Chain A
């Protein structure tokens, strides 16, 4: 059984000073991402959609990190697990549903890409591809641009722990270190890359242990603790904005579902391990915390769940009713016209 980390059942709120409204927004965003994701699995089981790659389990770190950003100002170069992250930045359940159905009007790629390839200029979401880790050195370029322009904008780039094996990761963080770039590299460590466990990916116990080789800060955080994740990213943002350079933030988490709808995780890990991790689920933990603090009540949970269900229902209905893109859309756009130079 793979257990390289000990996450507790607690929420670590040391130094956190957030309004009730913000705490409830965090909770709502986590629940919203989870229910949308669960519905997508249902659609896949019903044979209505062909593919799903899920963010279930990662909501804590993603919502915590996204809420710490200056939304729409900071750049976010995300990866396929980041549904909750994208939703916080302004992506909508309706857009998601258009994407999983491959329907006309899908905003990130015109249904050219598989789902989970985020892109939205207004929201500061950079255009994602599928080859893993390519975004890391690109993020260094984005951070370089901010530095050259004298802005205090920060670029956050995310990827999985397995993807840190690619050369792109090292080359990107090396640039970030050499030029003290305003950048955060967030590694969502769920201890598997499809079937390959972390110990076959690296010989160090923490991804963040590699930070010294780039001359940058390295931080390990409990990714199933939304407030601890928020704090870690907040601190890294402050460092970056004040010229202190990049931070490698490693969030320890778990993916309690298969890698994607094409995967069968029973071939490489035990049910006991998965069940053990479900006990540390980020949403349950935060919910208990909010209930204990008297910020949340049973009635409020019911209200939030109802609101989320309605939004997901409407999103699904809209996507099911939408047409498929015209076939000839395959032919463009290939080259940007001169006026976009």
Chain B
């Protein structure tokens, strides 16, 4: 199997879906001739033309709304938001429109569209190129949300998202775009939406994470295994909504201890819901406090690298939190 970067896996997924289904098209800022500011759509404009890889005006509300309209009229749009930080002009269209259409029409209309957006910090992007926005959207039933942590899942989940009859948001860990490499099969495959995955076996405690934090968590798990003999189980959430409760709960029932890692602000972040589910549905297995390691509750990830590093969870910080919890 060839090894590719996470962003190349995403590009392949879009290429294959454009090839497979005439109804699929891409729109977003700079996605055409430039191939996206991160180069996720590079080559697709040349291959499929300006009618299927459309440079949108600089206006996120309409990128999403045009996607919704096209989806309602039978197309399969993939809408790129250049940075997750810039998704908010489209918030109304996503949470009041895309999320609600199926429910409000009693199932007559559905909105089969994909919204892709790079998210996350640690890239020197400051307050407006570092945000994690998943919690806002995870709060709105009707949307599906996936966050891949490796190339295999990135490709398989994005292809599944294109084929899903619902609005699916794909948040992509941009720091990992070129950093995270992995094998992707030559043959056609998808990764089903709605399944989490145990990516490391262990008995001492479970660490839950997704996206870039999952990548760091695997590194931290190796560190504590070698240095402290602590064996972590690691669960890659992968699909945030709908949550694979079975996988999440089963691991906790085995280890009795949970550390949840996310890079969003701690308060009311996605990990808060995971913690609530664990304490509610697996209380009798609990063998220690359910811990969260997340960003501090400040308005953004600062630019200066000293402050940025202070904000961001890292393999070292995760290892530290694992040791503390293991010792409990």
A: which residues have CB within 8 A of B? 50-51, 102-104, 106, 109, 111-114, 129-132, 162-163, 165-168, 193-196, 200-202, 262-263, 267-268, 324-332, 334
Contacts and interface: CB of A to CB of B under 8 A. Distances in A.
B124 A50 contact: yes
Nearest to A102: B304
A51 B303 CA distance: 11
B61 to A, nearest CB: 6
B73 interface: no
Given A50-B124, A330-B296, 17 more contacts: A103-B304, A113-B303, A130-B85, A131-B88, A132-B58, A165-B62, A166-B59, A168-B89, A194-B30, A195-B30, A195-B33, A196-B34, A202-B57, A267-B34, A327-B306, A327-B309, A334-B297
A169 B128 CA distance: 20
A112 B304 contact: yes
Contacts of A200: 55, 57
A334 B304 CA distance: 17
B59 A167 contact: yes
Given A330-B307, A330-B311, A196 B125 contact: no
B58 A102 contact: no
Given A131-B88, A131-B89, A194-B30, A325 B125 contact: no
Contacts of B30: 194-196
Contacts of B127: 112-114, 129-130
Interface of B: 29-30, 32-35, 37, 55, 57-62, 85-86, 88-89, 124-129, 296-300, 302-311
A329 B125 CA distance: 17
A221 to B, nearest CB: 22
User: DSSP class of A's interface residues: helix, strand, loop or mixed?
Assistant: loop
A264 to B, nearest CB: 9
A323 B124 CA distance: 17
A112 B306 CA distance: 10
A162 B58 CA distance: 6
Given A324-B306, A330-B302, A165 B34 contact: no
A256 to B, nearest CB: 18
A313 B37 CA distance: 33
A194 B56 CA distance: 12
Contacts of B124: 50-51
Contact of B129 (A130, A194, A201, A268): A130
Given A195-B55, A330-B298, A334-B298, A267 B33 contact: yes
Nearest to B130: A114
Nearest to A49: B124
B33 A268 contact: yes
Contacts of B309: 327
Contacts of A195: 30, 32-34, 55
Contact of A193 (B58, B86, B306): B58
A166 B65 CA distance: 13
B88 to A, nearest CB: 7
Contacts of A328: 310
Lowest 4 A-B CB distances belong to which pairs? A130-B128, A195-B34, A165-B57, A111-B304
A338 B182 CA distance: 53
A160 B26 CA distance: 24
Contacts of A114: 125-129, 303
A135 B61 CA distance: 17
Contacts of B126: 112-114, 130
A160 to B, nearest CB: 8
A332 B310 CA distance: 12
Nearest to B39: A267
B302 A111 contact: yes
B202 to A, nearest CB: 31
Contacts of A168: 89
